[in-house]
Structure formats: C-alpha cells, structure tokens
Amino acid sequence: MTEKTTFDATDDAPLAPATRAPRFAAVAVLLIVALAGIIGGVALERAVLRPQRWAAARASMPPRGERRPPRRPSAMLPAELKLSEVQAARIDTIVERQMQGFREVRRSTQPAIDSLMAQTRRAMDSVLSPAQRALMDSVRTRREADFRRRYPDGGPPRGGGDRRRSLEPRPQ
C-alpha cells in the first residue's frame, strides 16, 4: 500500500497527507453553537417572554377573592350562531327558567339526600374503631371548614345558582 503524496508546485516539497481533523473541528464548533443557540432561546423564552404572557393573562383576571360577573347563558353558545339580541334574551330566559326548576327540585329532594348521607355516615362509623371514628370526624370537620372557607356563599357557582345573573347587553 503506497500512500499517494502530493507536491507543492513551488518547491517540489511533499505535502502532508490530508487529515479530517479540521473538518471534524468545524462540525463540532457548529454543533456547539447550535446547542448554545437552542439553550439560549429556551432561557430567553422562559425568562422574558413567558412572564410577559403570564402578566398579560393575570391582568385580565379579577383580583384574588373576587368573582367575575356571571356570563349570560346565551354567551356560552358558539359565536357562529350569530344570535340576535332578541334570540339571546329569549335563550337567557329559557335557561334561567330551567335553572329555577333545577333549584326547586333540589330544594325538594335535599332533605332526602341529607338523610341518605347521614345513614351512610352512621353505617360507616359502626364499622370503624373509636380511634378511627375520631380521626374520621376530624377529617370531616377539616373538609367542611375548608369548603366553607372556599365557598362562603354555600357552594361553587353552578350555572344559575341562587344569585340572579345580570342580563347586560351581549357584545357582538
């Protein structure tokens, strides 16, 4: 195996065989630069851009503890329906009437539900040891206190609730 040697045209001195080291170094430098660019881009997005988006989103939210005004039921329908104000008002009336019906049904059935829950609690307590019963009572008390703290009005807002919804004109 003979190695092919090239000569420099100016002084007839043999040139060193070509190596791949410079090409490898160039590829390595390009990969390092690309990796640094990716890492820098991610860091920039997380440090600068993401907080700006979150700040803009938080600015549109009501302060903690305050609730947004309830939306009209018709505002929850797809915008593609292009409801007129008359249609939106009629739909709002229908939904409000339906929610009032749900509230009446709940008021009439709530005592039966409460009775079943009390029976279930007594049956579960009969299975538990006195120490387990005391622990379960403390867990129930803590959960009820947490619920009252989170929902001072008696429960999370659901559809109509007992609060009257504002029927302000709908933006188009």
pTM value?
0.39
60 SS3 class: coil
Would you state the pLDDT for residue 171?
47
Residue 85 inside a domain? The answer is no
Residue 108 inside a domain? The answer is no
Would you state the pLDDT for residue 44?
84
User: Do residues 49 and 35 touch, judged by C-beta distance below 8 A?
Assistant: no
Q: How many residues does the chain have?
A: 172
Residue 44 inside a domain? The answer is yes
In which domain, by residue range, is 28 found?
Answer: 23-58
Quickly count: other Cβ atoms within 10 Å of residue 69's Cβ.
9
Q: Encoding tokens for residue 148?
A: 């009252």
Residue 34 inside a domain? The answer is yes
The single residue listed with the structure tokens 């709002």 is 92
Number of domains into which the chain is organized: 2
Residue 28 inside a domain? The answer is yes
* Backbone angles phi and psi of 45, in degrees to 5: -60, -45
Residue 157 inside a domain? The answer is yes
Residue 82 inside a domain? The answer is no
Residue 98 inside a domain? The answer is no
Summarize pLDDT for 22-48 with one digit per residue, the tens.
888 889 999 999 999 999 888 888 887
- The parts of the chain modelled with pLDDT lower than 70 are 1-18, 60, 62-70, 157-172
Would you state the pLDDT for residue 157?
66
